[in-house]
A and B are shown apart, each in its own frame.
Chain A
């Protein structure tokens, strides 16, 4: 399963409590759409660590990394890519 599918499924099932793919656009902002609150962000960070073995530093906890499926996919890709 791709990172995108895993992340979409996780957000859909744990925050929107649905399997309906139309409920979530990959560019939807979790915060402005009210999908995830601040405690929910901590859960997402745990999920990234458990599922992708990605450690999230304090400085990385910014919307640019975590606030949509696309941002998460890009962040996970960057963190799991071997150093150039």
Chain B
């Protein structure tokens, strides 16, 4: 029901219904504060729309549509959708520059279109119950119509504990699916049709742009400035996150250059200095003379907010990293802001992640597996791994050397991560194992496009990263959900589709020059930033995991969720194994990455079960309406 989504739109509700369909909208007012109430219709009320998100090029689209003779009754970005649809039919999507989850109802054709943005910034879920299609921005709005408590999708859990997220369109809820990024779901004549309207695509046979690096850097600079300019469009003030890394610093510097816009920035710091980037944040604040607010996060803050975080992620997580992001969006909201720009996406689009470097080194090594010095390059990537001295490096060499005999496997780039993550599954109960029939890696492989094997290995790694970790986890569990938990909208200039398409057209060596990540971005934008920001070694965003729950007194819910009887009652995990893991953690014995992921994964799965299954009757069953639904049977009858 729409009231379940109040946090996404606290400014009011709007409704439309006819004999086939009901549409509901919870509004977060950002553009056309007075007139932008949804649902919105075309001139003769034959096309209706509700949507979550922003169409950033709405001003230009409106001018075009007015030239075609369309008349507008609001100043909102929403209204361009109905007129664009009238003008271009289903191809209207190709004209949109934005982030969106759209439900469009064509009254005359009795056709419903559900459309999700290209990169997967905004969520959109659906389920079919009793010949009726229900859809909403979060699953919790769909739960009331299930009528009985949902069941955990075991294949999705298996996938999450391999890739960090289920393979789209799966969700953690059995029978509930997402509209995949870049997809359109059409309900017409009582049938559902899925269509991909956009995807990450890369040149084949080295057919990359041939322009000079300087020209390409200039083109990237122009594109990023324009992508940022469009994302500053709002009738409320717009702020920006500042992490201390190059991506958010680039955006803040671009905003500073837009003379008529004030620069208001927000950041998070950690009490534990291993995670803290405050020194770099301060350097940028001084450099840009930004009006800045900061929040500091400690172990207790993470433990205290973790349950509520899982309510918003609607999914188990393997790291606590989403929690500080929700505290940060809380700070933004408390300061009176409801829109922020973030640097998310730059690493996927422009080649910033260590996993790309790792894959590049392993590819190089795979060409001569007997080489003694090729694996030494891994030390440049992980300086703390002392491979050269023969010490524990022999282990690391064996670890990173896995799969070298299959460099063309679609799994090659991510194999080491997936093997590490899959250790979590050692804790599955015998009963769960018996019920698992699917192979997670096969499911991902089947989702890859036909052209995938023809792409450069670097591009293949980019594609997998964009589709699995970015769309499945970073943009939702750690992105949209943590922003919207506090009614804040995030905007992502690096995920402007023009930026993605441009970046996809350039050679990987311009993204990662030898092992220098985001080379072209630095070349294009470096002059706007202090040298130490451009030159710094990339620090991945992380937050304390196990220590958050076991330093000092553990919160009551941690004990309860990890208690033998609860583990046994929920049935997902092996009670003895979990007990030993908890004992190991409580004993203060050093625990590695695998133990950290397993413990956070088990704890969050347990919390997920309690929130959405055990407490279903109390918290969801009493609700009666949904965010949107259409009768497939009535459609078929027409």
Interface residues of chain A, those whose CB is within 8 Å of chain B, are: 13-14, 16-19, 31-32, 34, 37-43, 46, 58-59, 61-63, 66-67
Contacts and interface: CB of A to CB of B under 8 A. Distances in A.
A41 B385 CA distance: 13
Contacts of B592: 37-40, 42-43
Nearest to B578: A17
Contact of A14 (B422, B423, B584): B584
A13 B580 contact: yes
Given A34-B419, A43-B590, A61 B392 contact: yes
B73 interface: no
B208 interface: no
Nearest to A12: B580
A40 B589 CA distance: 11
Interface of B: 385-386, 389-396, 398-399, 419-420, 422-423, 426-427, 574, 576-578, 580-581, 584, 589-594
Given A14-B589, A37-B594, A63 B398 contact: yes
25 contacts: A14-B580, A16-B426, A17-B576, A17-B578, A31-B399, A32-B398, A34-B419, A34-B423, A38-B395, A39-B592, A39-B593, A39-B594, A42-B592, A43-B590, A46-B590, A58-B386, A58-B389, A59-B389, A59-B390, A61-B392, A61-B394, A62-B390, A62-B394, A63-B394, A66-B395
Given A16-B426, A17-B580, A18-B576, A37 B394 contact: no
Given A38-B399, A42-B592, 8 more contacts: A13-B580, A14-B580, A17-B576, A17-B580, A39-B593, A40-B594, A43-B590, A61-B392
B621 to A, nearest CB: 36
B576 A19 contact: yes
A81 B580 CA distance: 33
Contacts of B420: 37
A80 B592 CA distance: 28
Contacts of A42: 392, 590, 592
Contacts of A16: 426
Nearest to A58: B391
Contacts of B419: 34
Contacts of B426: 16-17
B395 A63 contact: yes
B277 to A, nearest CB: 23
Contact of B423 (A37, A58, A59): A37
A59 B391 contact: yes
Contacts of B581: 17
- The listed residue with most A CB atoms (<10 A of its CB), out of B419, B426, B578, is B426
A22 B581 CA distance: 19
Contacts of A63: 394-395, 398
